[in-house]
Structure 1
Amino acid sequence: MPDPAIRSPALDTRAADLIGRLRAWLPLDPGQAALRDEYLGFALASPETALERHGGPEHVTGSCFVFTPDLAQVLLCFHKKGRFWVQLGGHVEPVDGSVADTALREAREECGINDLVPVGGGILDLDRHALGGGFSCRTHWDVGFAAIARPEAAAVASDESEDVAWWPVAALPENVPPQFARRLAGVLTELAHRRG
């Protein structure tokens, strides 16, 4: 029987989409599976505000790991506020139909490559992290997706980033967030499993 919360007309369609995607995802990593259950609880507890930037100090964000077609390089931006290299992404905006749409829109805006092609068929990574003093919110419940860029595509930094650059997945820059290498490895493992 369908969850009554998903049929509720008051439920934000973006929240319903996220809940459906979370329920459909069977992560390979047990830690990601446990986190998926926490995300489900968070989204179901406050579907009207969980995805809203101004809905409270904690909310869902969408991010996109952009790769070359051979998955050998990842496109990272140097985040102005965070002062580190990280995947592209940001807050859900009213124009976004889903968190997946958020991830792709943010990636396109932040790297200047408009013809990114989504890959992986859904959620590939979850990362709930506290934010430092330079941010207006306290915690991001980030939902990670992936996309492929043409090898010849030239990335251009946006106003939110100081730089955008390709990095070998096996040789990331030193100043990435804690656990970023683990996250990237998890995304690549999920992609390999789905392609295999």
Structure 2
Amino acid sequence: MSLHDAALTALAAWRAPSERQERLRQRYVTHLEAEPGGVWRDCVPDHLTAGALVLDATGEHVLLNLHKKARRWFHFGGHCEPADATLLDVAAREAREESGVPGLQLDPEPAQLDEHVVPFCSPGVEVHHLDVRFVAYAPDTAQPAVSDESLDVRWWPVSHPPDLEAEMYELIAIGRSRLGTGS
């Protein structure tokens, strides 16, 4: 099965937790039905991306990266690559590459969908990333490292994170809830 088909199957079956997430799920499914290359970076103006929010095993700390181009703190994520079989594979690869942490345990169910404009993805074109976000849990011994795509990678207490976009606070709450540590 191709990555496109795996993504379409996963998103068609995903049960969105809210009306807003359901609207996004429908948008993603419609995009994939219309675009056979809808998972690839060269599908403009819209393409799927995937990533993972990394929490420690207690759910009390979140690992974030200061994105080099955006100069904002985010979860780890990025574009699909030919070797990826599923969106979960994309998220796992991106989280490992960008965090430097081996042994991440990913929850296989998508946690959140987020559509956002990325001005630096394809110069001169307004590109929309149709991001599928997962949650990952780091081993106790996790020692993060800064990748070429980041200015910094740092653990933050969930009670005192840096200034984040609203969707990131929601994603942290989802990850903590799945871990059973509250919201």
TM-score in terms of structure 2 length: 0.89
How far apart are the structure 1 equivalents of 2:112 and 2:30?
17
Q: Which amino acid aligns with 2:121?
A: F
Aligned CA RMSD, in angstroms, stands at 1.8
Q: What residue in structure 2 maps to residue 141 of structure 1?
A: 130
Q: Does the CA contact (< 8 Å) of 1:49 and 1:56 recur in 2?
A: no
How far apart are the structure 1 equivalents of 2:74 and 2:17?
23
How far apart are the structure 1 equivalents of 2:170 and 2:51?
16
Stretch of structure 1 that moved more, 179-188 or 73-82: 179-188
CA gap of 1:171–1:153, structure 2 versus 1, over 3 A, is: same
Give the secondary structure class of the aligned counterpart of 1:38. Answer: helix
How far apart are the structure 2 equivalents of 1:111 and 1:186?
20
Give the secondary structure class of the aligned counterpart of 2:155. Answer: strand
1:154 aligns with 2:124: no
> Which one has a bigger Cα radius of gyration?
1
CA gap of 1:186–1:35, structure 2 versus 1, over 3 A, is: farther
Q: What residue in structure 2 maps to residue 123 of structure 1?
A: 110
Q: Does the CA contact (< 8 Å) of 2:116 and 2:129 recur in 1?
A: yes
| Structure 2 residues without counterparts, runs of 5 or longer | none
* Identity level (%): 34
What's the offset of the Cα at 1:187? 4.4
Note the alpha carbon deviations across 1:13-66, whole angstroms, 9 max, x for none.
1111112211222122221122111111111111x2110111223110011111
What's the offset of the Cα at 1:123? 0.9
Q: What residue in structure 1 maps to residue 66 of structure 2?
A: 78
| Structure 1 residues without counterparts, runs of 5 or longer | 1-11
Match of 1:177 among 142, 165, 175: 165
Note the alpha carbon deviations across 1:57-102, whole angstroms, 9 max, x for none.
3110011111111222111000011010000010001111111101
Give the secondary structure class of the aligned counterpart of 1:95. Answer: coil
Q: Does the CA contact (< 8 Å) of 1:125 and 1:187 recur in 2?
A: no
Q: Which amino acid aligns with 1:139?
A: H
Q: Does the CA contact (< 8 Å) of 1:64 and 1:147 recur in 2?
A: yes
- Count residues with an aligned counterpart: 177
